Chains A and B, each alone.
Chain A
Amino acid sequence: MELQIQNLSKVYQNGVRALDNVSLTIPVGMYGLLGPNGAGKSTLMRTIATLQEPDSGEIHLGTLNVLRQKQELRKTLGYLPQEFGVYPRTSAQEMLGHLALLKGITDSKQRKDTVEALLHRTNLHEHRKKALSGFSGGMRQRFGIAQALLGDPRLLIVDEPTAGLDPGERNRFYSLLSEIGEDVIVILSTHIVEDVMELCTNMAVIHQGKVLFAGAPSEAVKSLEGRIWQKSVAKSEVKEHEQRYRVISSKLIAGKPLIHIYSAENPGNGFTPVSADLEDVFFSRISGIE
């Protein structure tokens, strides 16, 4: 089973081009969508999750026409939106049980077991009787993950799943995902490069509605091999360097800017070679270098 996205375009009423002729093939396994905020990741994910309509283009999941057979797609879907609220005046356990019913788990014994297990796996079991509205940000996120995993989804779409999670919870969630992701299509969007590095076998970089790169992370890194150079500079020098070199990123290390540049040859001038990582791929792609 594969998810085929063909020539998907979407322009919002305010003129923002959220998707610009996007075509992707997403196989079983973990697939990372990498892009800065506002790149169109959420629009793409919502469109796959039947919550938005593209202006043009097609999406197929196996033999399923996603844009027409919405109800069929929803039966295989688990979806964690980027932002979501909580149902007022309801406990976590009750709400999860209700969502399980709406996902088609009609047998009450099975429903109860599934909910119990998911509450355990998301570390919410001791809070199960608490009203959702009293949950902290991290607890809410874990609740969102639990509901997305209900009913063994074949297609799991998680939009910024680790936002608000502490490192321990994040690791726990990733092990949960990778456990599931073996025979399921998991689409994970993030703006954090490590997430993709650690988890995904395939990825796409999206910026301003366009796919800038699609393929394996290792492949992406390979294409930059030997072309990334770094240098630690004074703050006052950053501007000058930006004019002279193709600076792809600049971050502070111990209070001092460390810049990465793209250059096919050795630029000299104190730059040292550095082995490219996914972050370089990300920044070089979105700054328009190859």
Chain B
Amino acid sequence: MFKQFFTFEVRFWLRSWMLWVFFLIVALMFFGAASSDQITVGSSLKNTYRNAPWVVENFYVVCSLLTLLMTTAFVNSAASRDFAHNTHQILFSTPIRKLDYLAGRFLGSALIATIPLLGVSVGILAAKYMPWVDAERWGPVVWSAHWKAILVFAIPNTLFIAAIIFAIAVLTRSTVVSFLGSLALLAGYGISRVLTSDLKNQKLAALIDPFGIDPFLYATKYWTVAEKNTLSIGYSGYLLWNRLIWLGVGGLIFAFAYWRFSFAERTEKKKKLKAQESVSITSTAIPASARNFGAGAEWLQFWGTVKIEFKRLVKTTTFIVITAFALLNCVPALIYSNTEGFGNTFLPVTYRLLEVIAGTLYLFLIAMITYFAGVLAWEERDSGTDEVHDALPSPEWPTYLAKLTALMSSIVIILAVVMCAALLVQFFHGYHRYQFGLFIANLFGIDLLGFVFLAILAFFIHVISPNKYVGYFGYITFLLLTTFVWQPLHIATYLVQFGQAQTMTYSDFYGYRPFLESWVWFMLYWTAFCIFMAALTILLWQRGRETSWRSRIRNARLRYHGAVRLIAIAAAIGFVATGAWIFYNTKVLNTVRSENDNDRLQADYEKTYKKFEKQPEPRVTDVKYAIDLYPESRNMTMRGQQTIVNQTSKPLTEIHFTLASDYQTTIDMRVAGDAVHHEDPGAGFREHTFQPRRAAERYVHPQPDRPSDRVPARQRIGRQEQTQALRAQGKRSDACA
């Protein structure tokens, strides 16, 4: 019997969405943490290999704590399934043994709960082969670290957590209590770590940590970088004793649950039936009610749908677990953000906390948008309510927009929670320069806009997909393509990278100013695109059972009137107009160079001027610079004087200068009493030869051509390369004597 319960449990979960969503999120998170510095889990990776065995084991330790709520979701569901689905009366009247039943459910769900943890290994192993990683930071794969981490941390921690949650779930039969229990466990653990952090006896501390973090850190405390890069730790020393103690405690908790559990039905309080209820059944007349179908009614329907969709969304287990997981990664990172490495402390300034939030939270938000856009777009069809819903007189837009709004509301709430956490962190660190405006502009302006774009895209792709799976696949493929396909094609412009614009770097000196204008233009461009896409989504919204494209296009034509039509046309015009304007500025007035262009230019430069490599050159013996910086326009003017002396034994016929490519340069030279003036409006691969009286000399400035005629106000639009080009408004003078 045990085998049946166990295999049922395992098979049940292997077919479920939840398991694979959790697995993918963990894999994605550690993939990101291992392959980039933008995403962090625990502490950022410093001097070891990015896949060092110590890092792998450390990731598993951290992750087995982070996945606590995932474990709760599996184990609680396994423990309370028969009560939730009213199958307990059937099941418990059969001659099954209590131990088989409980142990099968418990071990089956605990085994499943370790599967998301394997995402750590998958993420790290995959990250090594990404084209953008620095090969020098990656060592050979140390397999022993992976399996030891799974045996020492993943499985025992999951078993321990699972035992506690299983006991709570079996004894209380309440999902809410199970989740509260897991949160209490987490909070209690956090508090106990603070209390034991002052413990003089590190050995004792290493034994009483139920998740094995302390014994791991204690055992590897004095490891060198080389040791961390090559050694892995298994069952030994304090780690062994720690694991034995806590597996034992887990076993005792399970035994307690076994002892207290009974198949007998609880005696529930019978609700008194009101006598008059049954009387009124046939007598009530259905009152007449006024019906409205105008725009006002549609807005009311929109808000009503937002409310009900939002309530449903935040009640799903998946939402609760992913949110908790995300906050567990983000909030501690905020708390410890002022102590970054080697005993240094930082002020928790706002823009830094915003960076921490982006690094620790946004991956989850993107995962949530991806998953729930599909859930919401297919909600009616998945639950079989589509025929009822589609025959209602409410048009398409309130439903669509309400689903979108409900999804974004859940994101807004998470952002608001995180913002409050960041403000509290600032408060408790005694940093009282609260920049509410910056927090709000960044989280609910710049970043939220990006999330809205993603959600609109996801809904659109789901609406044109024949089923949910194709929708998910199409969405992810599209995002990968738009991110990675352009570089190999030698196309470098944000005009083709969905929802992208130049990354804005905030500075306390000048805010976002130098980037803002360019950013705003690109956002107008993408906003127009997304509004157009939203209008298309409404036109193509699946209604009824007819899925052929012919009938969908016919329906779209029927819907194409009034506000939708106006908005679609306006958005299309806006998209084309802003696109043309940006194109004119970045491609006609200026050039944007891709990385490949830069490489080619560099190669040309080296080929052309290789011949001067061994050329004797005069020495600069004295320099004086006066530099004026204009940060708000990212400009500078530099006036300099150099004294160049020929220290070779022969007379020189040539002097070579390397000029900055992005600046206009004027050079005045006095060579043996003759004044030489050269103005260089742009830079180029040109050799300017000039003929002073005494000796034939020439100078060369080896940089690519740039258009010289620029209108300043128009030039700030563009991506980073572009913006550098725009800096050429400044003048630099090199004077030589």
Contacts and interface: CB of A to CB of B under 8 A. Distances in A.
B288 A85 contact: no
Contact of B393 (A77, A85, A147): A77
B315 interface: yes
A85 B383 contact: yes
Contacts of B311: 89-90
Given A77-B393, A120-B280, A87 B546 contact: no
Interface string B284-316: 111111111100110011001100100110011
Interface string A105-116: 111001101101
A152 B312 contact: no
Contact of B292 (A87, A99, A104): A104
A237 interface: no
B124 to A, nearest CB: 36
A49 B311 CA distance: 30
B291 A151 contact: yes
A147 B544 CA distance: 17
Contacts of B544: 46, 50-53
Given A50-B391, A52-B545, A107 B290 contact: yes
A281 interface: no
A172 interface: yes
A71 B297 CA distance: 14
B603 interface: no
B394 interface: yes
A149 interface: yes
B286 A98 contact: no
A102 B391 contact: no
B281 interface: yes
A107 B289 contact: yes
A101 B299 CA distance: 11
Contacts of A114: 286-287, 289
A51 B387 contact: yes
A13 B290 CA distance: 42
B395 interface: yes
B282 interface: yes
Nearest to A175: B282
Nearest to B313: A89
Contact of A88 (B296, B383, B555): B383
A104 B388 contact: no
Interface stretch (A121-129, A185-193, A194-202, A270-278): A121-129
A111 B281 CA distance: 19
A147 B315 CA distance: 24
B300 A106 contact: yes
A218 B294 CA distance: 45
A106 B388 contact: no
Interface residues of B, number: 49
Interface in A43-100: 46, 49-53, 68, 70-71, 74-75, 77, 79-81, 83-90, 94-95, 98-100
Contact of A110 (B287, B301, B393): B287
A84 B391 contact: no
B545 A121 contact: no
A104 B281 contact: no
A75 B289 contact: no
A175 B285 CA distance: 13
A17 interface: no
B388 A81 contact: yes
A89 B388 contact: no
Contacts of A121: 281-282, 284, 286
A113 B387 contact: no
B678 interface: no
A89 B316 CA distance: 8
B691 to A, nearest CB: 83
Contacts of A105: 289-291
Nearest to B552: A53
Interface in B382-398: 383-385, 387-395, 398
A103 interface: yes
A226 to B, nearest CB: 41
B444 to A, nearest CB: 28
Contacts of B305: 98, 102
Contact of A85 (B273, B384, B391, B398): B384
B626 interface: no
B312 A90 contact: yes
Given A87-B383, A126-B273, A101 B289 contact: no
A67 to B, nearest CB: 9
B688 interface: no
A104 B301 CA distance: 8
B277 interface: yes
Nearest to B381: A85
A104 B308 contact: no
Contacts of B282: 121, 172, 175
Contacts of A95: 308
B649 interface: no
A264 interface: no
A111 B286 CA distance: 11
A74 B545 contact: no
B429 interface: no
Contacts of B391: 49-51, 74, 77, 79, 81
A75 B291 contact: yes
Contacts of A50: 390-391, 543-544
Given A52-B545, A102-B301, A87 B385 contact: yes
A163 interface: no
B289 A85 contact: no
B558 interface: yes
A161 interface: no
Contact of B558 (A70, A79, A172): A70
A71 B280 CA distance: 36
Nearest to B307: A98
B201 interface: no
A68 to B, nearest CB: 7
B468 to A, nearest CB: 15
B60 to A, nearest CB: 34
Given A104-B291, A121-B284, A89 B393 contact: no
A149 B287 CA distance: 11
Interface in B689-714: none
A202 to B, nearest CB: 23
B403 to A, nearest CB: 13
B388 A94 contact: no
A253 to B, nearest CB: 35
Interface in A169-188: 172, 175
Nearest to B390: A51
A46 B308 contact: no
A166 B182 CA distance: 45
Contacts of A261: none
Most chain B CB within 10 A, of A68, A85, A152, is at A85
B387 A84 contact: yes
Contacts of B543: 50-51
Nearest to B281: A123
A40 interface: no
A94 B546 CA distance: 29
A113 B285 CA distance: 10
A117 interface: yes
A161 B180 CA distance: 43
Contact of B392 (A83, A89, A90, A99): A99
26 contacts: A49-B387, A50-B390, A51-B390, A52-B544, A52-B545, A53-B554, A77-B393, A79-B387, A84-B384, A85-B384, A86-B385, A87-B383, A94-B308, A101-B301, A102-B389, A102-B392, A103-B291, A106-B292, A110-B290, A117-B285, A120-B281, A125-B277, A144-B388, A147-B388, A151-B289, A152-B286
Given A49-B387, A98-B304, A114-B286, 8 more contacts: A68-B558, A70-B558, A74-B392, A81-B391, A84-B387, A87-B383, A98-B305, A120-B280
Interface of A: 13, 46, 49-53, 68, 70-71, 74-75, 77, 79-81, 83-90, 94-95, 98-107, 110-111, 113-114, 116-118, 120-121, 123, 125-126, 144, 147, 149, 151-152, 172, 175
In the A-B complex, the 4 residue pairs with the closest CB atoms: A85-B384, A51-B544, A104-B291, A81-B387
